[in-house]
Structure 1
Amino acid sequence: MNRARWAVTRAVLGTLGRASTGIRIGYRHGFDSGQMLDYVYVNKAGGFPLVGHLIDRVYLNAVGWRAIRARRELLKDVLRKEIALRAGAERPEGPVRVLDVASGPGRYLQDLLPEYPPGAVQVACRDLDRAGLAQGERRAAERGLTGISYAYGDALDPAPLPHAPDVVVVSGLYELLLDDSVIEASVARLRGMLAPGGVLVFTTQTRHPQLEFIANVLPNREGALWEMTCRPVELAEQWARRAGFTEVTSRRETVGLFTVTTARH
């Protein structure tokens, strides 16, 4: 019975659902892609007139996407505080360097940059999704942003930067990985990349009421059905402490599905 129900749901979403711009993006790039998140952040319904817009608004109002937007706002707040701790009138080490290892287009980072004087903050965006990187580069050029760069890179095996980053961000990646040992190894590897006194900022999904629907209906960026695992924030903090971080704290976004953890070198 469940198999037939999910098959019907997939058929409806893959036909009528494509009247929604957001659902079309999901089928083209993956519902877990950077382009999908970028569209969710904008939160402006699109698609065919009337029915498409209505479907898209329902889609964008799903609890998971509302939590994603709340996670972004919390993440921006955390990064503002971390940058403020390091930014000064004359910083001998140069600009505050931020690395996002799985950035996608990096919209929230572009939103942060104009809050600082030119040259005070440098952002490096890395991702395996070339289309997302190109989208971010185009938008940065349109906005006249010079303090942000985009390059192809593997979040789980990041290439070193010319200067060690002060802040490393991992947002929305660990939620997609099913193997805890891979995440724990990533946390330890990123600690080794940080400048002295640096901080790792990463997100964790602790619960999601639509996991069964997502795993049976929505394709990911690789074309397979999108499976996710929820984990207690205590486990995420444990990974950071085992990696050698000495000060580890977490905050939960307002919808209540995600936490943002800061782990200091």
Structure 2
Amino acid sequence: MTSHVTRPGPLGRVKWAAMRGLLGSVGRLSEGVRVGYRHGFDSGTMLDYVYENKARGFAGVGWVIDRVFLNAVGWRGIRARRELLVATLDGEVQRRRRRAARQVFVLDVAGGPGRYLQQLIAGLPRGHVRVECRDLAEAGLRQGEVLARQQGLGADVLAYEVGDALDPKPPASGAPDVIVVSGLYELLLDESVIQGSLERLRGMLAPGGVLVFTTQTRHPQLDFIAHVLPNRNGELWEMRCRSVAEVEGWARAAGFGEVESAVERVGLFAVTVARG
């Protein structure tokens, strides 16, 4: 399966234009489709809606469209990625706690509302972990703060900050033990940007720290997404798939000594653990 988008001919352009028109009209009966058009189908707010996985829409037709939308293979892969990511982070926090009985500091540089971070915290004894969640989209951060308050999570446990994942500032509270990059590298077409990010994040880690990041290894709907769905910038959303071997090679080139990956159960995304 190709990892790149196919450029359509004249008939293909007509087909994709018709699908854009259908999704932008009838499709808006679905709450998920409306969220995608409002914030971008690649946004943290969109992913949070996918994570919640509760169909909503205008009357019965909208609900049905939304359920079909949420059941798309890519969104099922996203939810499976979250399960694997949370399990991986939980294992890394527990590993760090066994080595040094102190609170583990986790920094997520592009977490959006951070629903999976709240899931991680909820599964650990209070005081085992402290998380800082960053994103450029303030709407997602504010949404995450509301969700955190509803679960009784204060800023001492989960703090939200505006920040650029590709130009990260060192946290004022010290070097993180674990840095998370989830759902970002899948959106970047320039491989040198990813490689530069891996190098910068390695330099931010505490001694013996770990970077956990996700990548997309394949997707059966690359062409549909690239020709129909707008991203957070209002442009058509083009993605590129990459092999596990390729991204692991980038991590080793960035100076990480121990690198290993696992693919989620749907088979679209990998979660890679890179230790300094």
RMSD (Å), alpha carbons: 1.1
Provide, for residues 213-255 of structure 1, a one-character-per-residue CA deviation record: whole Å limited to 9, x for no partner: 0000000000000000111111100011011111000000000
Match of 1:116? Answer: 124
Match of 1:51? Answer: 61
Letter in 2 for 1:131: A
TM-score of the two chains, using structure 1 as the length reference: 0.97
Deviation at 1:117, TM superposition (A): 2.6
SS in 1 for 2:87: helix
Provide, for residues 86-133 of structure 1, a one-character-per-residue CA deviation record: whole Å limited to 9, x for no partner: 125972xx4100000000000000011122232221000010000000
Letter in 2 for 1:78: T
Pairing of 1:41-190 with structure 2 (within 5 A): 41-88=51-98, 91=101, 94-146=102-154, 147-161=157-171, 162-190=173-201
Task: Pick the aligned partner of 2:229 from 209, 218, 242.
Answer: 218
Distance change (3 Å), C-alpha of 1:243 and 1:38: same
SS in 2 for 1:55: helix
SS in 1 for 2:200: helix
Letter in 2 for 1:157: D
Q: How many aligned residue pairs are there? A: 263
Bigger CA drift: 188-197 or 107-116? 107-116
Match of 1:202? Answer: 213
Deviation at 1:143, TM superposition (A): 1.1
Pairing of 1:26-45 with structure 2 (within 5 A): 26-45=36-55
Deviation at 1:65, TM superposition (A): 0.3
- Give distance in 2, aligned partners of 1:23 and 1:186: 31
Task: Give the unaligned 5+ runs of structure 1.
Answer: none
TM-score of the two chains, using structure 2 as the length reference: 0.93
- Give distance in 2, aligned partners of 1:232 and 1:87: 32
Task: Give the unaligned 5+ runs of structure 2.
Answer: 1-10
Task: Pick the aligned partner of 1:2 from 6, 12, 26.
Answer: 12
Match of 2:6? Answer: none
Percent identity over the alignment?
65
- Give distance in 2, aligned partners of 1:109 and 1:48: 31
Match of 2:271? Answer: 260
Bigger CA drift: 125-134 or 82-91? 82-91
- Give distance in 1, aligned partners of 2:143 and 2:104: 24
Structure 1: 4+ residue segments shifted above 4 A: none
